[in-house]
Amino acid sequence: MQRYLLRRLLQGVAVLWLLTVIVFAISRLSGNPVDLLLPEGALPSQRTALIHQLGLDRSEPAQYWTFLTHALRGDFGWSLRFQTGAAGLVLSHMPATIELALAALATAVVIGLPAGILAALFRGRPADYGITSALTIGQAVPSFWLAILLILWLGVDLHVLPVGGRTGFESLIMPAVTLAIVPLVTIARITRSSVGAVLPQDFVRTAESKGLRRRTVLSRHVLRNGLIPVVTVGGIAMGQLLSGAVITEQIFTWPGVGWLTIQAIEARDYAVVQAVTLLTAAIIVGLNLLVDFLYFALDPRIRDAQVATA
């Protein structure tokens, strides 16, 4: 088990290193930030001096090496747009994104998990058709369109929820619901498929033949085995929510990492873009490792299979 987990950790480190190369290269494609920092009519000498001050006159490999060595120490540079350290700036906006992602994931689990279980229990019946139809509609609804509808209905027409900002629990409801649609559909579908595959198994029929109550059979046998794939989906969904809330945060002016990323891209703020990408990627890699640990804890068969192939 230790060899397998160590290999997974080394794979995560390799992914992060490769990502530093990609992010460094792509962030330079947006143009020179000097063009935005200098006022109109600036002298060529001023432009040259600022380029030298920012280190942009050095070769690309030299700039990358400086970036990498500083990043390993937690120093992602200085934000030109916000005039503060990039790492500290990203970390200060991270709690808002984590709060939104956790609220969206909780909403998806609370609704999607029972929906998937009910669809599996009543497979082929009207309840199953109704749930799967609703999931299909939810999957087809664009998040930005749903966000606009919620703002117009609950914020503008009814005035029951704030249309933007981070001012309390009320301001969290609409962006969390908007962001929860995609993982909700995924969790419900995976739950329906997984639980539906466990229900006909011999050990479930054996438990029922012993006279155990339906609720006991579901909780002790069906859900314990059928929800293992949901753990993977939950880990992946959390990573997607952390990294994919850009549009939602922008629509609701939620002061998270996604909103910060848009501001940094518009200002060609290399340091902030790199810090956002790498810190978010590190969190996602950590979530994947956590999912691996949970897999080992939930199903000994998976542990034995991984150890045998390690």
* 248 occurs within a structural domain: yes
Domain closes at, from 22, 56, 86: 86
* % of the chain exceeding 90 in pLDDT: 18
- Is residue 282 located within the same domain as residue 164? yes
* 48 occurs within a structural domain: yes
pLDDT at position 201, please? Answer: 79
- Is residue 94 located within the same domain as residue 110? yes
DSSP strand E in the chain: where?
78-79, 84-85
Q: How far apart are the first and last CA of the chain?
A: 8
Average pLDDT over residues 235-248: 80
Chain CA centroid to CA 191, Å: 20
d(CA 85, CA 53): 16
Domain closes at, from 86, 115, 141: 86
Task: Kindly report the CATH number assigned to the domain that includes residue 299.
Answer: 1.10.3720.10
pLDDT at position 202, please? Answer: 75
- Is residue 73 located within the same domain as residue 94? no
Question: Which DSSP letter does residue 65 get?
Answer: H
- Is residue 268 located within the same domain as residue 244? yes
Lowest mean pLDDT among 9-13, 228-232, 295-299: 295-299
* 244 occurs within a structural domain: yes
- Is residue 158 located within the same domain as residue 283? yes
* 6 occurs within a structural domain: no
- Is residue 79 located within the same domain as residue 95? no
- How many structural domains does the chain have? 2
Residue given tokens 């509808």 in the structure block: 149
pLDDT at position 301, please? Answer: 60
Residue 20 backbone phi and psi in degrees, to 5: -60, -40
Residue given tokens 């068969």 in the structure block: 301
* 252 occurs within a structural domain: yes
Decide: residue 76, CB within 10 A, 0-12 exposed, 13-18 middle, 19+ buried.
buried
Average pLDDT over residues 188-203: 84
pLDDT at position 81, please? Answer: 80
* 294 occurs within a structural domain: yes
* 42 occurs within a structural domain: yes
Contacts within 8 Å (CB) and 24+ apart, 212-218? 218/117
Domain closes at, from 41, 59, 86: 86
Q: What is the pTM of this model?
A: 0.78
Question: Looking at per-residue confidence, does 19 or 297 come out higher?
Answer: 19
> Residues 75-120: pLDDT tens digits?
888 887 888 888 899 999 999 999 999 999 999 999 999 999 899 8
Per-residue pLDDT at 71 exceeds 90: no
Decide: residue 271, CB within 10 A, 0-12 exposed, 13-18 middle, 19+ buried.
buried
Q: Which domain holds residue 79?
A: 12-86
* 60 occurs within a structural domain: yes
- Is residue 72 located within the same domain as residue 144? no
Question: Which DSSP letter does residue 63 get?
Answer: H
pLDDT at position 306, please? Answer: 55
Ramachandran category for residue 77: left, alpha or beta (phi over 0 → left; psi -120 to 50 → alpha): left
- Is residue 39 located within the same domain as residue 103? no
Per-residue pLDDT at 303 exceeds 70: no
Contact 242, 101 (CB under 8 A): yes
- Is residue 78 located within the same domain as residue 111? no
d(CA 260, CA 97): 10
Per-residue pLDDT at 211 exceeds 90: no
Per-residue pLDDT at 58 exceeds 90: no
- Is residue 73 located within the same domain as residue 98? no
- Is residue 67 located within the same domain as residue 172? no
- Is residue 80 located within the same domain as residue 110? no
